[in-house]
């Protein structure tokens, strides 16, 4: 869960947390303060402060209903639960977040359409009023072969279109794991060409041939974090975009966004000049590069390059 907060918190946030923590504690009886803190992303002090407050709740003539909560020697003790026993109903945001995760998990390969997850999904959807909510995770044609190779620890000979180099390359990869990020599937693999771990977009594999050679797999860390890119290491670029170019912020991982005049100042990681060139051409007159100065001309150069082709007149193919 989220890390411990800094600075003053609103009453609403603390109330919500209290009503989340109390029913949880009541399920468990006595719990170390440190465990409560870790579970809810709090400091020990915050836990003690909130629990102490809860222990003061309940008033005459409802003395019987007083909350029996004690913090002592690093443990939280909860006695007979009377009030605040049930958690609050799921908010729209909580319910949607969980239902979407469940629907997507059911769309993943190997999901059992009649298993416990499907049954839980049905109960959850019913509690949320059965929203018409569907998640499609498209599977590119090569994905099955790649997954098979991950399971079998088998090297694959592939032809890959690298968007950052804008070229087709042949390589042999040792596929370690597959994952999906924002609608695209990737395979994490050791790559003989670069000698490094890389993430390849599965829909950009032109050819994919099992080699019959096997390798010893190594564990890999999940890589889906904001800021990673499929095509290798990245540098940071600062763009100024108008309101109409705001989609950049919604479409790509960005480091920071600030209002700047009648537009936005956006800092984002850029994997290659080719990638940046494409982005700048799409944005057109709605953006310019502020930093680094060395990349300020990338959009213009790319536009000139593409225009050269149009100005050559009759369409020719290479």
Q: How far is the CB of 12 from other proteins (least distance, A)?
A: 5
CA dist., res. 180 & res. 199, Å (int): 11
Retrieve residue 204's tokens. 């950009």
| Phi, psi of 241, deg, nearest 5 | -125, 150
Q: Which is nearer to other proteins, 163 or 213 (CB)?
A: 163
- Cis peptide leading into residue 138 (ω within 30°): no
Of 163 and 238, nearer to other proteins (C-beta) is 163
> Which of 100/257 has CB closer to other proteins?
100
User: Shortest gap between Cβ of 172 and other proteins (angstroms)?
Assistant: 20
| Cβ distance to other proteins smaller for residue 83 or 213 | 83
State in angstroms the smallest separation of the CB of 114 from other proteins: 12
| Minimum distance from residue 72 beta carbon to other proteins (Å) | 20
Q: Closer CB to other proteins, residue 122 or residue 213?
A: 122
DSSP per residue over 188-209, as a string? Answer: EEEETTTTEEEEEEGGGEEEEE
Provide, rounded to whole angstroms, the least separation between the CB of residue 155 and other proteins.
22
Q: Is the CB of residue 255 less than 8 Å from the CB of residue 235?
A: no
Rounded Cα distance between 70 and 48, Å, is: 9
Contacts of 271 (CB under 8 A, 6+ apart): 164, 229, 230, 231, 232, 233, 234
């Amino acid at each position: 869960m989220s890390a411990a907060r800094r600075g003053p918190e609103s009453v609403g946030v603390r109330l919500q947390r209290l009503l989340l923590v109390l029913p949880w504690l009541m399920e468990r009886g006595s719990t170390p303060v440190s465990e409560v803190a870790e579970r809810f992303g709090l400091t020990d002090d915050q836990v003690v402060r909130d629990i102490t407050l809860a222990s003061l709740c309940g008033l005459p003539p409802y003395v019987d209903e007083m909350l029996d909560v004690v913090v002592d020697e690093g443990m939280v003790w909860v006695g007979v639960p009377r009030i605040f026993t049930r958690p609050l109903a799921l908010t729209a945001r909580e319910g949607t977040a969980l239902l979407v995760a469940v629907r997507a998990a059911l769309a993943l390969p190997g999901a059992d359409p009649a298993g416990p997850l499907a049954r839980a999904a049905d109960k959850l959807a019913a509690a949320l009023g059965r929203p018409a909510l569907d998640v499609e995770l498209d599977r590119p044609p090569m994905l099955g072969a790649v997954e098979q190779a991950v399971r079998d620890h088998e090297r694959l000979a592939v032809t890959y279109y690298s968007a950052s180099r804008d070229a087709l390359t042949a390589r042999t990869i040792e596929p370690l794991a597959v994952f999906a990020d924002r609608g695209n599937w990737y395979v994490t693999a050791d790559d003989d060409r670069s000698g490094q771990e890389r993430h390849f977009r599965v829909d950009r594999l032109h050819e994919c041939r099992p080699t019959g050679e096997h390798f010893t797999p190594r564990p890999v860390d999940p890589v889906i974090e904001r800021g990673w890119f499929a095509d290798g290491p990245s540098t940071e670029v600062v763009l100024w975009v108008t309101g109409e170019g705001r989609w950049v912020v919604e479409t790509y991982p960005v480091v920071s966004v600030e209002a700047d005049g009648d537009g936005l100042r956006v800092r984002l990681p850029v994997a290659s000049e080719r990638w940046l060139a494409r982005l700048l051409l799409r944005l057109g007159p709605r953006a310019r590069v502020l930093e680094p100065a060395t990349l300020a001309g990338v959009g213009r150069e790319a536009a000139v390059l593409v225009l050269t082709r149009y100005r050559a007149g009759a369409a020719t193919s290479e």
